[in-house]
Amino acid sequence: MFTGIVEELGTVAAVEKHRTGARLEVRCSIVLADLAIGASIAVNGVCLTAVAISEDCFAADLAPETLSRSNLGDLGEGSRVNLERPVTPATRLSGHIVQGHVDATGEVVALDELGDGNWWLKVRVPKSLDRYLVEKGSIALDGISLTIAALDHEPVVGVTIIPHTYANTTIGQARVGTRINVEVDVLAKHVEKLLAHG
């Protein structure tokens, strides 16, 4: 489980494509401090398993499901990625509960400067996720815990990006048309299932 609070921007060192999957190598430093083989790590909000670790890099295998549901297959050498280690029992839950199980990808519609380093990000998400989205609810975009500030019928989600988030995550590199990983609030999914069987 993660919180959606990005710890570090990593850099893709290599992507090795396989017939049915891929291996991703990411250069980083902070998240390596206590990373062990077999441990989980979120890359752009996708929960991956570290399968190899070196002094400045870790590797993870990407399953076909991961490649079809996320934007990790779009990455190439030099791409920047958001990194987060899983929570521990003593960790503050600063964001919201993020599983690292990406539901789909959305598309950046706009990233407009509001002034004083603040930005307004609009992302079109698949209609199938609309029922889990509410204003002032939580959403993870590329693994970043954000609050939905506006929502329209398409659906397009609007969120405010503060200067810290813009400078320390991949949001600052987003352009119109960029694919972005979307994970809706898992609690909404559980409520929906409980009500359907109630």
* 165 catalytic per annotation: no
pLDDT tens digits, one per residue of 165-186: 999 999 999 999 999 999 999 8
* 58 catalytic per annotation: no
**101, 110, 160, 188: which one is catalytic?**
101
**52, 91, 147, 190: which one is catalytic?**
147
Q: Is the domain of 113 the same as that of 183?
A: yes
Tell whether 91 is covered by a domain: no
Q: What is the CATH number of the domain that holds 49?
A: 2.40.30.20
CA triple 37-41-44, angle to 5 deg = 145
Residue 50 has pLDDT above 70, yes or no: yes
Last residue of a domain, one of 27, 49, 84: 84
Once rounded to an integer, what is the mean pLDDT over residues 9-30? 96
Residue 198 has pLDDT above 70, yes or no: no
The number of beta carbons lying within 10 Å of the beta carbon of residue 94 is: 10
Token pair for 158: 């609007």
Q: Is the domain of 121 the same as that of 192?
A: yes
Tell whether 66 is covered by a domain: yes
* 101 catalytic per annotation: yes
H or E element, residue 43: strand 40-43
* 29 catalytic per annotation: no
Residue 92 has pLDDT above 80, yes or no: no
Distances (CA, A) of 129 to 4, 30, 37, 102, 123: 19, 33, 33, 11, 12
Once rounded to an integer, what is the mean pLDDT over residues 81-106? 90
**104-115 sheet: strands from edge to edge:** 144-147, 138-141, 179-184, 104-115, 118-124, 156-161, 150-151
**52, 63, 149, 167: which one is catalytic?**
63
What percent of the chain lies above the pLDDT cut of 70?
A: 99
Tell whether 71 is covered by a domain: yes
Token pair for 92: 């503050």
Rg (CA), the chain: 16
**49, 54, 91, 128: which one is catalytic?**
49
**47, 50, 60, 140: which one is catalytic?**
47
- Structural domain for 15, as ranges: 8-84
Strands 179-184 and 104-115 turn out to be: antiparallel
Q: Is the domain of 188 the same as that of 108?
A: yes
**11, 14, 39, 40: which one is catalytic?**
40
Token pair for 15: 């992507």
pLDDT at 188: 85
Tell whether 64 is covered by a domain: yes
* 28 catalytic per annotation: no
Tell whether 175 is covered by a domain: yes
Q: Is the domain of 112 the same as that of 182?
A: yes
Check residue 42 and report its DSSP letter.
E
CB 21 within 8 A of CB 64: yes
Tell whether 1 is covered by a domain: no
Q: How far is CA 164 from the centre of its chain?
A: 16
Residue-averaged pLDDT of the chain: 94
Q: Is the domain of 66 the same as that of 149?
A: no
How much is the pTM? 0.92
